[in-house]
Chains A and B, each alone.
Chain A
Amino acid sequence: MTDQFPRKKKLHILHKTANFPCMCKALLISIVIPTFAIVLSACKGDSPIDRYTQKKILVLGNSAEPQGLDPQIVTGVPENNIIRSIFEGLCVEHPSKEGVHMPGAAASWDSSDDFTEWTFHLQPNGQWSDGTPLTADDFLFSFQRMLHPNFGAEYASMLYYIEGAEAYNKGQAEDFSHVGVSAPDPYTLNIRLKAPTPFLPELTKHYSWFPVPKHIILKHGTIDQRNTPWTEPEHIASNGAFTLKTWRFNDYIAVEKNPRYWDHATVKLNGIRFLPISNQYTEARMFFNQQLHTTYSLAPEMIEYASNQYQPYLRQETYLGTSFIRFNVTDPKLMDLKVRQALALSIDSQAIIDHVLKGGQTPAYGIVPPTADYHTPKVVTFDPERARKLLAEAGYGNSKKLRLTLLSTDKEVSKRISEAYQDMWKKHLGAEVSIEQREWKTYLARMAELDYQLVISGWIGDYPDPTTFLEMWKKGDGNNRTGWSNEAYEALLAQAEQIKDPAQRLRTLEKAEALFLSEMPIIPIYWYTSNYLLHTSVKGWHPLLLNNHPYKFVDLVQPTQP
């Protein structure tokens, strides 16, 4: 009996004292090891980026997990960045000059005087990454697949410049041989256009004109089948400067140098890694921690922060793109033009640029970014007074509130912009708009299915011409996504196609845009500026209007230590 007490006490004390050093140890481990690791890495003096630079592997922030890698299905910029590295069109971008075309899959080309008949001479040693020769037949197959009515490519209208393409795509003509493309021999490609198109080489730089490997695609399905496994790393064959090596979902996509590329001597990089980082703040932080060579974009506060602390890395360049809000005009509430106008007139773009975006963007009053020759019609302004009046005329007021849902992406900045719109509509119109944030793939799918009321959108030009912003609003175009169409508008575009005088053509396009804006299926918000961070070790990366930096000319050089 008596023995028990002291023993118990002893145990108790032992227990307590044993516990204390244990906790200390845990604390020590949790503090000391990371510190040690940081010190160690600092001593070694090479960050992840230095190691990648030595290996000549470019590491890019790429915003989102791509929708896919089939050039004939995708529509987004993150996809474009990857596809441009593994596939190559007839012409490629010049690394620094706008409007200069470098030979790509085509070694040379010529056109008739009126720019309707084009002949492309393919690279004689052009081949796919699996060694199969790349011939004009692959191009014919690609165009046919792109235009196949059952395939339903969103970007099919990019090929409507070709004679007979539109009819074939819309199922009005069954026979593909009526489409104006032909291959007199395996290395010659003839393209006959329906109207004079001097900027055809620009179009061929876009992935909708890229060749796709006929032999691989037909192995995994038929010509009109979507989403077959041909784009998986173990199946794919590509013709670009790089080939797809690994695709780790939500982690990274890695491409490596293609030894069978016709111009492999020019390619300096050994590979590229695309990281789907959707949070811009995380992305900037990764750049500051030396984990990325370049960011996809830059968050508003980070622009100021970078300009103070990381000035040599900050890039601010003109970018041919427009941010806008799409209306689903098939929605019963949004069918009413007055409601759309009211919503449009109550957005103060300048305030959003000054206080949310802070990146030197320009408030947009139309869809086409104005150039020296093209004068965008000024239709949309900020006028809350008129907006209120229009909404009252449409029958909404205090007793009957306007309730809508705005679809947005899951990015932090999209959320802030969406909240700013939400607040402006509430303040100026008394409208209750709720926000739905969805990740990139769902966002694109919902937009394509018209499963939304309002959606924040952006459009980056595919080639430097106003039509890249105007063609997509035609009826049934895969990128229209508003349900809006207008015959008079399409007639004006068709009329512009036939006009030979460039100035006269632009005046007609301006007329078409004015008509489009007066119907208001969208609210233009701002014209883009590209803000991003670029590491000083990246060479051959020059400002380009479309931001399509050709990777084959990019090099990585370790900056010499001071």
Chain B
Amino acid sequence: MSKNAQNNAALKGHSLWSDAWIRLKKNHMAMISLVVLLIIGTLCFIIPAFSFIPDPNTQNLNNTFQDPSGNHLLGTDQSGRDLLARLLYGGQISLLVGLVATTVSVIIGLSYGAIAGYAGGKTDSIMMRIVDILYGLPFLVLVILFSLLISEHAKDLTESLINRWPDHEVVIKKLINLVPLFVAIGALGWLTMARVARAQVISLKKQEFVEAAVSLGLSHPKILLRHIIPNMLGPIIVYATLTVPGFVLTEATLSFLGLGVESPNSSWGILLSEGANYMETYPRLLIIPSITFSLTLFALNFLGDGLRDALDPKAAKD
């Protein structure tokens, strides 16, 4: 980029981020997706706090398979529980798994990849061969084994936590319940992130500003943290956005296989798996969660694509 152009940008006060925002705003699909996600997020995380949404786990056996009505906007399920409430609470869990697992994987992947890329040479080779080996193992099988392993420990942890803070039992249970999923998915999902981070670091560490930092005598951790990582955030954010739907899907797969959250809690995967049983008799129980789920996944993917175009124009598709 010429000096002139840089000056112009500075005059207009455009940072990388505001530039990206302008580009993103031009992408209609991405903006619609953003709005859809905001709506779904608001519904899942804020609406259930109001009292007009019934408890998602309280059964009413006199009231099973009710069609949508004023009392139950989306009707009730096979145990007389409000479907809307289950959908929203399930969404909380599914979205949380997506977000937390992505955060875990970004933290692990980013530090691992950055260190490998920055160190280079033998260290890099060894670290990346480990990633290659882990890549070769079947992801879902590992996640299942891992989550089973952790859930045994999580149980003991729950009991000791509840004994300490008996008042917060519901919250503790809900969170601990999810820990195996978070950890298992996040801890095994960082591999691609590590590769992306390593590639970025390698391309950045040859640049002049890094050389300048080295010649100024800055320590390696400082160079990594202050100069390299901030410059590679764009591609990382893009990749992270594209990972979220993958993790939400993994959670759904695990719950569908009966390995996700514990009964009677719901998640989108559980709603889909239960709904599939009633596809002839009460198709509503399958169709409504499916639509919500697909809509969210589509929106996350479109937003990820849009962010890539905006933040990292070089990597854009065409």
Contact = CB atoms under 8 A, between A and B. Distances in A.
B20 to A, nearest CB: 25
A434 interface: yes
Given A351-B61, A354-B61, A355-B64, A418 B263 contact: yes
A415 interface: yes
B263 A356 contact: no
A529 B58 CA distance: 28
B280 A416 contact: no
B67 interface: no
Contacts of A279: 277
Interface centre among B58, B169, B280 (most CB of A within 10 A): B280
A401 B277 CA distance: 34
Given A435-B263, A437-B258, A420 B79 contact: yes
Interface in B269-296: 274, 276-278, 280-282
B59 A281 contact: no
A437 B151 CA distance: 14
B263 A305 contact: no
> Which interface class (under 10, 10 to 19, 20 to 34, 35 or more) fits B?
20 to 34
Interface string A415-451: 1101110110001000010110100000000000000
Nearest to A301: B281
A299 interface: yes
Interface in A347-364: 351-352, 354-356
Interface string A396-422: 000001000000001010011011101
16 contacts: A12-B318, A285-B280, A301-B281, A302-B281, A352-B61, A355-B61, A355-B62, A356-B79, A415-B263, A416-B79, A419-B59, A419-B263, A420-B59, A420-B61, A423-B58, A432-B169
Contacts of A420: 59, 61, 79
A351 to B, nearest CB: 5
A434 B262 contact: yes
A355 B277 CA distance: 16
Given A301-B278, A301-B282, A355-B80, A422 B61 contact: no
B264 interface: yes
Contacts of B281: 301-302, 304-305
B57 A423 contact: yes
A352 B64 CA distance: 11
Contacts of B262: 434-435
B302 to A, nearest CB: 18
Contacts of A419: 59, 79, 263-264
B111 interface: no
A351 B60 CA distance: 10
A420 B65 CA distance: 15
A418 B57 CA distance: 13
B224 to A, nearest CB: 38
What is the interface of chain B mostly: helix, strand, loop, or mixed? loop
Nearest to A284: B280
Interface in B65-87: 65, 78-80
Interface string A517-549: 000000000000000000000000000000000
B301 to A, nearest CB: 17
B264 A305 contact: no
**10 tightest Cβ-Cβ pairs between the two chains A and B:** A355-B61, A281-B277, A423-B59, A301-B281, A435-B263, A351-B61, A419-B264, A305-B281, A355-B64, A412-B277
What is the interface of chain A mostly: helix, strand, loop, or mixed? helix
Given A355-B80, A437-B263, A299 B277 contact: yes
A410 to B, nearest CB: 6
B126 to A, nearest CB: 40
Interface of B: 57-59, 61-62, 64-65, 78-80, 169, 258, 262-264, 274, 276-278, 280-282, 318
Contacts of B258: 410, 437
A416 B61 contact: no
Given A299-B277, A301-B281, A422 B263 contact: yes
Given A301-B65, A412-B277, 19 more contacts: A12-B318, A281-B276, A301-B277, A301-B281, A302-B281, A305-B280, A305-B281, A352-B61, A355-B61, A355-B64, A356-B78, A401-B169, A415-B263, A416-B78, A416-B79, A420-B61, A434-B262, A434-B263, A435-B262
Contacts of B79: 356, 416, 419-420, 423
Contacts of A418: 263
A423 B264 contact: yes
Contacts of B65: 301
Contacts of B318: 12
Nearest to A438: B258
B60 to A, nearest CB: 9
Interface string A297-327: 0010110110000000000000000000000
Interface in A220-253: none
A427 B60 CA distance: 11
A426 B258 CA distance: 23
Contacts of A401: 169
Nearest to B259: A437
Contacts of B263: 415, 418-419, 422, 434-435, 437
Interface in A276-294: 279, 281, 285
Nearest to B277: A281
A279 to B, nearest CB: 7
Nearest to B80: A355
Contacts of B282: 301
Interface centre among A355, A420, A435 (most CB of B within 10 A): A355
A415 B80 CA distance: 14
B165 to A, nearest CB: 13
A355 B169 CA distance: 30
B22 to A, nearest CB: 25
Given A355-B62, A423-B59, A435 B274 contact: no
A169 to B, nearest CB: 37
Interface centre among B57, B65, B80, B277 (most CB of A within 10 A): B277
B99 to A, nearest CB: 26
Contacts of B61: 351-352, 354-356, 420
A495 B281 CA distance: 52
B284 to A, nearest CB: 13
Interface string A245-278: 0000000000000000000000000000000000
Nearest to B262: A434
B264 A435 contact: yes
B277 A422 contact: no
Contacts of B62: 351, 355
B111 to A, nearest CB: 36
B276 to A, nearest CB: 7
Interface in A332-390: 351-352, 354-356
Contacts of B169: 401, 432
Contacts of A281: 276-278
Contacts of B277: 279, 281, 299, 301, 412
Contacts of A305: 280-281
Interface string A52-89: 00000000000000000000000000000000000000
Contacts of A427: 58
A12 B317 CA distance: 12
Contacts of B64: 355-356
Contacts of B58: 423, 427
A435 B177 CA distance: 12
A442 to B, nearest CB: 12
Nearest to A355: B61
A427 B80 CA distance: 14
A410 B256 CA distance: 12
Contacts of A354: 61
A386 B69 CA distance: 36
